[in-house]
């Protein structure tokens, strides 16, 4: 497969039916390297792959990667293996043109052979992602990746690519970003893609999925702001649940969510909290609310109003409201 830049590969992650079994990521832009790994992981974990990581600090580490690729696994038949080649290993050699003493040269050759073996052993449904933490991968490794999979270079983006990156970040968060909003974010953060992605991540917390964002929506005027993570952590560690909720206007949790409130427990695939009305919405999977008497309430979605001690149940049989749960104030 051809060599791709980071932007081109993000398009592949978005639209391709399948991803290459072997993916080599290198280049000087650390944020883009990590964002690509995260984008691959988001897609492949949705497809049922289990995420496993390996740190490559010496030549023998590659043997464990190859063994993992070959070994059957009843519990995780599909795996995404991420191998991070540490700079300390690369500094001992790593390319055929690097001078080394006998012991280092032997280890480097063994490492190159091991990594080439890992690349060629990668087969669907498993996926092998190799990340070099600095500049380019050794030439032999690049050739192996180009032959067996794909090589992604994370280089400094050109100015005309910044809006395309910004739009890609927004789509990954299920947000619709206007061109003027994208240009405003880029100008506000001086073209720093990590800052742009972080700003979009904060917006995704506050907005519904599929929300459209215009430049006017990005105004910084007004007293409201997102709470600092340390403020939230401090409130939670002190057991001040009410104080924590007071800092938020909206919160979202995804994937096997469990919500505790006094002696009650709610579970679902998704939980939304809205400060207005102190409303929790459990949805996805089989939303369930269990009280101290072990009585359960289920439905397609459960909307729990903390202030009024009320649960609104949406189910196949219709909608109804319960007030039997007395919620601790």
What CATH number is associated with residue 248?
A: 2.60.450.10
d(CA 259, CA 280) in angstroms, rounded, equals 9
For 45, list phi and psi in degrees, rounded to 5: -70, -30
Structural domain harbouring 188:
159-218
Contact 176, 212 (CB under 8 A): yes
Of the three residues 191, 218, 245, the one that is the final residue of a domain is 218
Of the three residues 135, 153, 171, the one that is the final residue of a domain is 153
Is residue 90 located within the same domain as residue 119?
yes
Number of domains in the chain: 3
Is residue 88 located within the same domain as residue 209?
no
Kindly list the distances between the CA atom of residue 173 and the CA atoms of 16, 183, 206, in Å, as whole numbers in the listed order: 18, 18, 12
pLDDT (tens, 9 = 90+) of the chain, 329 residues, equals 578 899 999 999 999 998 888 888 988 898 999 999 999 999 988 888 888 888 877 666 666 666 666 666 655 568 788 888 877 665 554 444 444 444 444 444 445 666 666 666 666 677 888 888 766 677 777 777 777 788 899 999 999 999 999 999 999 999 999 999 999 999 989 889 999 999 898 888 878 889 999 988 887 544 444 555 656 666 666 666 665 666 667 777 887 888 877 677 889 888 888 776 678 888 888 888 888 788 888 888 888 877 677 788 877 666 665 555 444 43
Helix (H) or strand (E) holding 105: helix 102-121
Of the three residues 122, 153, 184, the one that is the final residue of a domain is 153
Contact 82, 37 (CB under 8 A): yes
Is residue 138 located within the same domain as residue 183?
no
């Amino acid at each position: 497969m051809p060599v791709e830049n980071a932007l081109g590969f993000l398009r592949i992650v978005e639209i391709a039916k399948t991803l290459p079994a072997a993916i080599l990521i290198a280049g000087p832009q650390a944020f883009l390297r990590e964002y690509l790994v995260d984008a691959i992981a988001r897609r492949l974990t949705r497809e049922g792959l289990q995420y496993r990581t390996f740190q490559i600090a010496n030549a023998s580490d590659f043997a464990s990667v190859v063994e993992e690729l070959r070994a059957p696994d009843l519990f995780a038949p599909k795996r995404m293996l991420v191998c991070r080649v540490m700079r300390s290993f690369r500094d001992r050699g790593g390319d055929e043109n690097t001078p080394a003493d006998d012991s280092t040269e032997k280890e480097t050759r063994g490492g190159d052979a091991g990594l080439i073996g890992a690349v060629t052993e990668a087969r669907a449904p498993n996926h092998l992602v190799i990340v070099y933490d600095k500049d380019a991968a050794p030439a032999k490794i690049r050739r192996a990746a180009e032959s067996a999979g794909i090589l992604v270079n994370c280089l400094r983006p050109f100015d005309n690519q910044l809006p395309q990156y910004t739009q890609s970040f927004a789509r990954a968060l299920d947000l619709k970003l206007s061109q003027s909003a994208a240009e405003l974010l880029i100008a506000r953060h001086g073209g720093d893609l990590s800052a742009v992605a972080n700003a979009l991540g904060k917006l995704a917390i506050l907005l519904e999925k599929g929300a459209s964002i215009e430049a006017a929506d990005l105004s910084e005027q007004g007293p409201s702001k997102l709470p600092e993570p340390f403020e939230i952590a401090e409130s939670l560690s002190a057991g001040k649940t009410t104080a924590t909720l007071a800092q938020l206007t909206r919160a979202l949790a995804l994937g096997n969510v469990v919500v505790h409130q006094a002696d009650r427990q709610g579970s679902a695939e998704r939980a939304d909290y809205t400060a207005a009305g102190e409303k929790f919405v459990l949805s996805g999977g089989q939303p369930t609310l269990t009280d101290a008497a072990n009585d359960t309430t289920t439905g397609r979605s459960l909307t729990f109003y903390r202030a009024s001690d009320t649960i609104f149940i949406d189910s196949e049989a219709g909608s109804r409201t319960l007030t039997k749960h007395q919620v601790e104030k």
